[in-house]
Every structure is written in C-alpha cells, then in structure tokens.
A and B are shown apart, each in its own frame.
Chain A
C-alpha cells in the first residue's frame, strides 16, 4: 500500500512525458510505469509526504499501545517503501533523503538490527551518509552505548571518498568522545572533521565544538563577563561575585 502514491505520481509523470515526445512512444513509457527505469526521478516533495504519513502512522501505532522494537511496528513497512525510492535513484537528493529517513524511522522504533542492516548496505559515498551519522548518534544516546556508532562511523570515515561524509562521520565520533569525557580524543576527531571539509557546515560545527572544549569545559575559568546590569546600579564583573556560585541564564524575550 505504501508504494501506491508514488506509482500513481510516476504514471502521471510518464504520461506527461509521452505527451511531449508523441504517442508513438506510448507503449514503452506505459510499460515503464510498472517497473520504473533506474534513475527515474521521484520528487523530494513526495518523499517528504511519505515521511509525514509515516510519522502519523507511527504516532497512531504508539498511542494505541504499540511497542517499540516490535515485529509489527509500522516503521518496518515505511522503511521498505522509502528504501524502494532510494533503490530507484540512490544518488539523487530524493533517494538520499529517503534512505536517511528510512534509517531514522527504524532507529526511533528501536529496531536496531534492521537499522544496522540498512546502514551497512549503503555505499560509503552514498549522500545519505551526510545524515546517517547523526542518526547513529541518536541510537547511541538511546542505548547508552556507542560502540556500534563509533565503529561504523570510523569505517565509513576511512573508506569514503566524499569529504563532507568523512567530516560528518568524524564530527559524530568527536561528539561521542566529548560526551564520554575523552576531550583529547574529541579534539583530535573534531580537528580531522574540520580539516576534511573546510568551509562546510560540518567544519563550522566542528570549530564550535573545539572552541567549547578549549574554553568552556568544566574546571576552566569562565570567559570574562562585565557590564552594567539594566536593573541595578553600578558595573559588575564575574570577579565581583567571587565566593558564590553563579547561574548564567542566556535568554531571549521571544
């Protein structure tokens, strides 16, 4: 049932194509609707619609008492439907989003083995890898263990030829190291992540995390603060409060 909306859309797309090239090609095109040609485009918006439908379906399942990790979890069929989109056009934007979303559905459903099967079937240069590292980080947080996350990302970082994927994988390894309190290892991974893909969002994120490790780790002197409070008289500095703990609240009115 999950494949149907896409098949319908595909038919419409092919009929539109027939109209432009002439009726003579009609038979070939109609035959292709049953089995889309490799590389046949599925629109990103269609993938997003599938994901929206999947989320609703899974929410219904959860509110009616369905358990995570169960063999009848709707994430399984939605994963299969999304994976078909990926199989049709693995290196397109829609295919990459479909694969990443498919894996995220399984991880949120705590179907770890199925998720790992999909992850391990991805080519190291599949653009879905831009997002898979974050999904594996979520898995580690949920399971309170990061062995699989780190081992898998290390393997991908070593074998991919795509700088942004290497950077994304190393970035998450750095996050895991930091979370586990190994700051020297975290700094090394993050520096590698930054060097792998300069100028990318991953590099910027790595840069920020390195800054936090170097300047904002527990035990380090807090960065200086000085100014005149809006609601008090006279200037303050952190030193003026020495001897008392301080709670800093960064906030916004909206």
Chain B
C-alpha cells in the first residue's frame, strides 16, 4: 500500500496512453472496495474476494503484493517491474513500440 502515491502519479501521467488495471488479492471484496475509495485508486479494479486463490492471481503466479506486470500493445508479457518505481521506464519502452 505504500506504493499507492507513486501508482496514482503514474496513472495521472499515463492514463490517456496506457490502461491501469488493479487486481485485488483481498479475501473480502468489501475491504477492497473500501481501500479503493479511501486511497483514491481510481483506475479499473477487479476483485473476487478469493485472495491468492482467485483465477487471475493463480494464472499470474502471484505470491505477494504488490506484484506488477507491464503488457505490451498486443497483450503480451512485456516486463515484471520489481517495484512501482520501476514501472515508468518499462512503460515508456512499451509505449515506444509501435502497435503490431
């Protein structure tokens, strides 16, 4: 959660050119909803309340949080930034690649 301010700044800067999609691994959708509101995480948010056992965290082999992925314009895995700080450089690389 300490990375939220940085994510918000990135979202504000890039939301016209890139999609931000949050996937909660909470075991309570209400908790997730409350956090989205109180922290102002206004990007798209999916939550199923199944924690790490949810289909999406399982498919992405998510072991902890935050865990981050950058996908390219064609929906392929592009990078797995180790922290929010590392997102911007990889996102810029993905943006620099022409659609194909």
Contact = CB atoms under 8 A, between A and B. Distances in A.
Nearest to A218: B77
Given A231-B45, A249-B20, A223 B59 contact: yes
A208 interface: yes
B73 A245 contact: yes
Contacts of B78: 218, 245
A231 B36 contact: yes
B47 A245 contact: no
A241 B99 CA distance: 12
Interface residues of A, number: 37
B17 to A, nearest CB: 7
A211 B61 contact: yes
A117 interface: no
Contacts of A228: 46
A219 B10 contact: no
Interface string A210-235: 01100111111111110111111000
Interface residues of B, number: 56
Interface of B is mostly: mixed
Contacts of B25: 250-252
Nearest to A241: B19
A224 B44 CA distance: 16
A58 B19 CA distance: 46
A244 B19 contact: yes
Interface in B1-54: 1, 7, 10, 14, 17-26, 29, 31-36, 42-48
B69 A222 contact: yes
A221 B26 CA distance: 26
Given A229-B46, A238-B75, A249 B95 contact: no
Contact of B21 (A208, A221, A249, A253): A249
Interface of B: 1, 7, 10, 14, 17-26, 29, 31-36, 42-48, 56-57, 59-63, 65-80, 87, 91, 94-95, 99
Given A247-B21, A250-B68, A254-B1, 10 more contacts: A225-B23, A227-B48, A228-B46, A231-B36, A239-B75, A245-B71, A246-B69, A247-B14, A247-B91, A253-B31
26 contacts: A212-B61, A216-B61, A216-B69, A217-B77, A220-B76, A223-B59, A225-B59, A229-B45, A230-B45, A238-B75, A245-B70, A245-B71, A246-B20, A246-B69, A246-B75, A247-B18, A247-B20, A247-B70, A248-B71, A249-B23, A250-B60, A250-B62, A250-B67, A253-B1, A254-B26, A254-B31
